[in-house]
Structure 1
Amino acid sequence: MPDILILYYSRYGATADMARQIARGVEEINGMQARIRTVPPISTVCEATEPAIPESGAPYVTLSDLQECTGMALGSPTRFGNMAAPLKYFIDSTSSLWLTGTLSGKPGAVFTSSSSLHGGQETTLISMMLPLMHHGMLITGLPYSETELLHTTTGGTPYGPSHLAGVDSKLPLSEDEKKLCRALGSRLATIAKKLLSA
């Protein structure tokens, strides 16, 4: 069954919660399934100390996950208006896929969370689009027909779903945020399905 890769990094759990909501949206589309993957934390000794399999949560991503997907949603907490280093570290290892055009023509989308409402959500989302565009992916966001964008007081942008996690990073996803995540998953899966049948 064709799948949408939902690849994320999450430090305190909010981005992982968003990934699960996006997966729900993907699986609302008949004949499509979600594949959730994460990346390990990174430090100067990361590769020597991280276990090959995480103790909990989603498995670590491999290049074959990207080769096999029919579309991808990329998620990260906001770090100074940009994606977190662990996700960027993995993306920087995908040159072999760029050389072969593996992701070219596949739909791609992005999502993020931040501790403050104006914590760089939109710049993070745009920065995550750039490597997807270099890979030739077709970027999709959220249209304003998703009416939650018009009245949300938490996260949500036309560039992709976002979440206001709060200063202590403990605020749960709001109902608007959940709906926008699911809407992105459904939109991504619908586009991927149409491209497969074209």
Structure 2
Amino acid sequence: MAHYDLKTEQLKEMAPKLRAGDTVTLTGTVYTARDAAHKKIVAAMDAGDKLPFDLDGAAIYYAGPTPAKPGQVIGSVGPTTSGRMDPFAPRLLDAGLACMIGKGVRGQGVQDAMARNGAVYMVAIGGAGAAKAASIKNVEVIAYDELGCESVKRLTVENFSAIVSQDSVGGNLYTEGVAKYKKD
């Protein structure tokens, strides 16, 4: 297991090299999107409409930030359960998405799409949304404002920490961790 300090622009190149258990700090642009936004993004893809952001090499954080209090850039921004995005994630991965960040295990369809595309899934610690907010330097709603906290936002992050939990070669902390401690 290794640690990487990465610019988000490096994700397309680096994602295939990251392995389950690696720790990463990201600096650059990360987009927020949850299931309602994913549904709209996939509908836009189906209709041939312009997407809210370029998926090629992008990172999506599965979060619905709370409003900022006075003097803050953003409110709490903890991860949401990633499995809710599983019906949509393979399409986004096939369109170039390099990195997903959330919490919880991903399904086989997502793992297969990660392998096809050299992508990576990272987890952020649930319940630490206020701490995560400290690494966010700017936030801008870029699409689907009607979704409120679930709108698509462009975050500028600095030293945003995450752990690679599923990699593009089949490494999976969720299965490896259980196997390590399981008594037969």
Is TM more than 0.5 here? no
Larger helix fraction of residues: 1
Larger strand fraction of residues: 2
TM-score, structure 2 normalization: 0.28
Q: Which one has more relative contact order, counting CA pairs under 8 Å at least 6 apart?
A: 2
TM-score, structure 1 normalization: 0.27
